[in-house]
């Protein structure tokens, strides 16, 4: 790959300030490999619920415009999300809906996407990762399952997300996602 910086955007599916998944996104950003910059977007709860009635050019909610701009400018998308009742959180699904429009040319269109999840269940958020990949794919993104990471919160080492072995797993996911950018460039 060239000397250019690979731009990733990390979408945080949790609204909680002390969210483990918010921490996951920030650890990914803070430990991004050389030549990779990650912008964390963690205010998805501020977006209005998607409706074609309010998806009107020149009258878009400022948060929607900014989200579409940031994701549209990124080379790839990293999603850090909890699992709520066995699926994707509403705020994240809503953001994906906004990013899917305009149909066929939305901000996610053709972008490689990886899903990271830290969850209490024994499968480390497998259902939310599966549902998020499905939603992203329908929205035009290219889910990269090989870059996904599921962490069981109760099984984390004593250092939690900052344990070197966990940070190494997070960096490996980011690196795998960046490899997809290189393939599609």
Structure tokens at 66: 């900014």
- Supply 41's token pair: 């977007």
DSSP state of 146: G
What is the per-residue pLDDT for 185? Answer: 60
SS3 151: strand
Q: What is the mean pLDDT of each run of 10 residues along the chain (185 residues)?
A: 85 95 97 97 97 94 97 98 95 98 94 96 91 97 97 93 96 97 73
Give pLDDT, residue 1: 46
Residue 155 has which token pair? 């099984």
Cβ(121)–Cβ(87) below 8 Å: no
Chain centroid, CA 120 distance in Å: 19
């Amino acid at each position: 790959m060239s000397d250019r910086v690979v731009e990733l955007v990390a979408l945080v599916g949790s609204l909680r300030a002390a969210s483990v998944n918010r921490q996951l996104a920030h650890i990914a950003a803070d430990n991004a490999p050389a030549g990779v910059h990650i912008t964390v977007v963690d205010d998805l709860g501020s977006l209005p619920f998607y409706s074609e009635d309010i998806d009107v050019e020149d009258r878009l909610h400022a948060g929607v415009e900014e989200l579409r701009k940031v994701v549209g400018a990124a080379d790839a998308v990293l999603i850090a999300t909890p699992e709520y009742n066995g699926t994707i959180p509403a705020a994240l699904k809503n953001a994906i809906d906004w990013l899917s429009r305009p149909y066929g040319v939305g901000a996610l269109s053709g972008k490689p996407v990886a899903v990271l999840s830290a969850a209490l269940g024994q499968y480390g958020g497998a259902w939310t990762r599966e549902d998020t990949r499905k939603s992203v794919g329908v929205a035009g993104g290219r889910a990269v399952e090989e870059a996904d990471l599921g962490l069981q919160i109760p099984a984390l080492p004593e250092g939690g997300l900052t344990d070197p072995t966990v940070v190494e797993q997070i960096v490996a996911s980011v690196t795998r996602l960046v490899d997809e950018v290189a393939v599609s460039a």
